[in-house]
Amino acid sequence: EAQLSESGGGLVQPGGSLRLSCAASGFTFSSYAMTWVRRAPGKGLEWVSTISGSGASTYYADAVKGRFTISRDNSKNTLYLQMTGLRAEDTAVYYCAKDGAVGDGYSDFDYWGQGTLVTVSS
Amino acid sequence: SYVLTQPPSVSVAPGETARITCGGNNIGSKSVHWYQQKPGQAPVLVISYDSDRPSGIPDRFSGSNSGNTATLTISRVEAGDEADYCCQVWDVTSDLQAVFGGGTKLTVL
């Protein structure tokens, strides 16, 4: 069974940077698109970014475009989210999620990590 | 950008049927996925591709999608079903992006 485990969250000042990691196991990592989703306090789920299985294609929400970078290392079965220019409104629990079908996305998110909390505050 | 609209809350008594709607322009032409999230836990996929139930999800959970509304139906509601429920689609009109509804809090009275 697939397992995902996020790390790298914490407290950061506005304008600061943070890199999140998501370690994957239990499936052929390189065959599946991967996605970051966040949930801010009192809000609903918000899509952040998706990367294809090969890493060749990346997609971003307008709210993070130009500030966040998604990447993956298929040799290490690890997904990353480099976050720069952080703002108070980026405060949220960040989840990594696995696409439900082999390919480059467009499917459901069938496995999720437990999330890592990012707090942006001075 | 594509918008999904859900009611903020739905309340039902145990044993009754809960229906949670997800509205979107011609959503019937898209595949809708539904997630359940309990406090402090990760989201769980409960319905995929409008009406498919993943392994391990009780058959009390069902889904439909037509026109401008998708619906998650939970029959014989139990106390353990109390959670936030969120719909999701993919929008490819401009660039690929996943879209989530605002979420619905299901309260079991």
Tens of pLDDT, residue by residue over B22-47, are 999 999 999 999 999 999 999 999 99
* Chain segment A73-118, per-residue pLDDT in tens: 999 999 999 999 999 999 999 999 999 998 777 899 999 999 999 9
Distance CA A14, CA B77 (A): 44
* Chain segment A25-83, per-residue pLDDT in tens: 999 999 999 999 999 999 999 999 999 999 999 999 999 999 999 999 999 999 999 99
Distance CA A92, CA A115 (A): 9
Could you say which of B1, B95, B100 has the minimum Cβ distance to residue A46? B100
Percent of chain B with pLDDT over 70: 100
Residues 6+ apart with CB under 8 A from A13: A86, A120, A121, A122
**Chain B residues whose beta carbon lies within 8 Å of the beta carbon of residue A113:** 42
Phi, psi of B18 (to 5 degrees): -105, 135
**Chain A residues whose beta carbon lies within 8 Å of the beta carbon of residue B103:** 44-45
Tokens for A120, please give them: 């942006």
Tokens for B50, please give them: 């409008």
Does A59 sit within 8 Å of B101, measured CB to CB?
Answer: no
Q: What is the per-residue pLDDT for B105?
A: 98
